[in-house]
Amino acid sequence: MRNRFRLAIIATSTALTTLILSAVPAAAQAPYRAPRTGTGKPDLNGIWQALNTADWDLEGHTARNGPVPMLGAVFAEPPGLSVVEGGTIPYLPEAAKKRKENRENWVKLDPEVKCFLPGVPRAAYLPYPFQIVQDNDNILIAYEYQNAVRVINMKAPTKSPADTWMGWSNGHWEGDTLVVDVTSFNDSTWFDHAGNFHSDALHVVESYTPRSADTLNYEATIEDPKTFSAPWKISMPLYRRVEKDARLLEYRCPEFAEELLWGDLSKKSGKKEPSK
Amino acid sequence: MTYRNVVFSSVLAASTAILLLAQAPAAGQNNGTFRRTPDGEPDITGIYDARTATPVERPKALGSKEFYTDEEFKAVSERLHKGDPTAPGVREVRGGGGAGGGGGGRDGNRVSVQYEKDILGYDVSKSNYVATKRTSLVVGPDGVIPPTLPEARQRNAARAAFTREHELDRVQNMNLETRCILSARQQIPLFPIEDSNTHIQIVQGKGWVAIYQELNHDVRVIPTDGRPHLPKQIRQYQGDSVGHWEDNTLVVDTTNFNDQTAFMGSSENLHLVERYTRVSDDMLLYRFTVEDPHTWDKPWTVEVPWMKANEQQLYEYACTEGNESIGIILAGARAKEAAEAAKTTK
């Protein structure tokens, strides 16, 4: 009985709160204004990390078995909501077929399994932190995964001399938002484990918008006329790693892919490292 | 992979650089070119080229002479520009990375690797790598790297013997450079590299300094807020770096190395202190001291001039993504074994 009474109170107060909140004037919901660096620009310095399952599948997905039965529930695929605006990615028919093939063979084909550079936007929502280091002319982003790094040029835009894994990044500020135009990709990175992919015509426009002291809103508009029928957009919050001693650690992952890639070429009786 | 050869600039530009260097003050002195970031910290940002013609160790003939006189320096510079193959440093390319070497210098033979530069397409008379008046990069009256202790020689000989015997048994026995984990030329501390990807970019945010090496896209983001090192059980290939400012100098202290990245044969107890000081608009002095009681009987110090580069950005250096050679090498080793086995059964 007492429980039910308490529930009733909670319900009433929730309703009241809702009423009060909806009565708050628009001014109180003005966009968050970020602290400034010495240059007067919004301060994005910090260690950030996505907290979602986009690296498994950008689109909405239910939990499912992982690829290694031995690892049981530890490496099963976690469920997640879509981070794609509108829910699904607008593939061209041929590309949709390829995505299906990719998905069926992802363990073999996903470049992350081999510890390859992740590309953009995937680098932002890998399950590892990254750090923004911001000075006047350049914004460096260091990713824990594979020591990947980008320097976003904040001066007059420049052109890449060649295609790359991490793209060629030119940035500018639009109000409090850092907008980064990324071009010159190769066709070898993926967006997730679910086989979502692109061609070398990929063009990504990222935006990083401070939304509170410890969160950013991250968006990426993805355009690739060889693969998609229209541009599409992903959106997610990024969270500051607020631990006192937070920092990037080493994740030099080539060594973790070696047995997979070349284990079958080992000498059958080959000795291991010398014992110390 | 970006393969940036020496940027050939005119002899005139090289001479200018040398002249600038001749006037550069000693490390730690403030000559008025000091500047601050908008956040109020000493500003060491920029893109630098760490090539230098100064040899790591002092030529024997110079004894304990640490600096050339102005006259001597002028003469040495002229010999360099004329491409005189006997000029100091000209025939020496540092950093190892040759076949069988590298492995993060595990065999302790890193500095001995030498290439004929003309084979790599260098025209010494036109290159713009520079020298200071120092007669060697190793600082002090000795001017040479101290000999390793018996303990270290034994440790490294055991590793070298294992490598000779078993390197091609499995990928995990191959050297770290071949495996795209850590090139001998990218591991800290940084000796100058002269063959490619010599550029280093420093970006500063408040309380952090990022040092980004083009070679194998290595980046260290170093806190300068006075925090302590990571707990001892966390060991890393590039150790754990924490920094602080002493006047205008960034001082970076690195420990927590793992036992794989022997620097010149060092152990995981290596303690590295690096000092970064801007001494002119064009030059950052990079000075490091290494100590390891399990490897050398005393610490030793190296000073390298880093010149402001002409480049506006670094280029992507992908490595493991195109690493076809490991599969080929191992397949070759297995084929050889199979052929030998077939011979013995005949």
Q: What per-residue confidence (pLDDT) applies to B191? A: 84
Mean pLDDT of A235-248: 96
Q: What per-residue confidence (pLDDT) applies to B89? A: 55
Encode pLDDT of B143-154 as tens digits.
Answer: 999 999 999 999
Encode pLDDT of B15-44 as tens digits.
Answer: 333 333 333 444 444 445 678 999 899 999
- Residue B155 banded pLDDT, cuts 50, 70, 90: very high
Mean pLDDT of B223-228: 95
Threshold 0.90, pTM exceeds = no
**By mean pLDDT, which of A26-30, A150-154, B236-240 is the weakest?**
A26-30
CB-CB under 8 Å, B166 with A45: no
CB-CB under 8 Å, B207 with A45: yes
| Nearest CB neighbour to A131, from listed B39, B206, B221 | B221
Encode pLDDT of B103-123 as tens digits.
Answer: 333 333 333 334 455 555 555
CB-CB under 8 Å, A142 with B210: yes
What are phi and psi for residue A9, nearest 5 degrees? -65, -45
CB-CB under 8 Å, B212 with A151: yes
In this complex, how many residue pairs, one in chain A and one in chain B, have their CB atoms less than 8 Å apart?
158
| Burial group, residue B131, by CB count within 10 angstroms (0-12, 13-18, 19+) | buried
Scanning every residue of chain B, which has its alpha carbon at the shortest distance from the alpha carbon of A148? B217
Q: How far is CA B174 from the centre of its chain?
A: 21
CB-CB under 8 Å, A188 with B172: no
- Domain extents for chain B? 5-345
Report whether pLDDT(A276) > 60.
no
| Nearest CB neighbour to B321, from listed A40, A117, A265 | A117
Q: What per-residue confidence (pLDDT) applies to B312? A: 84
Q: What per-residue confidence (pLDDT) applies to A246? A: 95
Encode pLDDT of B310-326 as tens digits.
Answer: 888 999 999 999 999 99
Mean pLDDT of A227-256: 97
Residues 6+ apart with CB under 8 A from A176: A31, A32, A33, A34, A42, A209, A210
Encode pLDDT of A194-232 as tens digits.
Answer: 999 999 999 999 999 999 999 999 999 999 999 999 999
Percent of chain B scoring above 90 in pLDDT: 58
Scanning every residue of chain A, which has its alpha carbon at the shortest distance from the alpha carbon of B45? A135
- Residue B91 banded pLDDT, cuts 50, 70, 90: very low
Interface predicted TM-score of the whole assembly (ipTM), two decimals: 0.87
Q: What per-residue confidence (pLDDT) applies to B88? A: 63
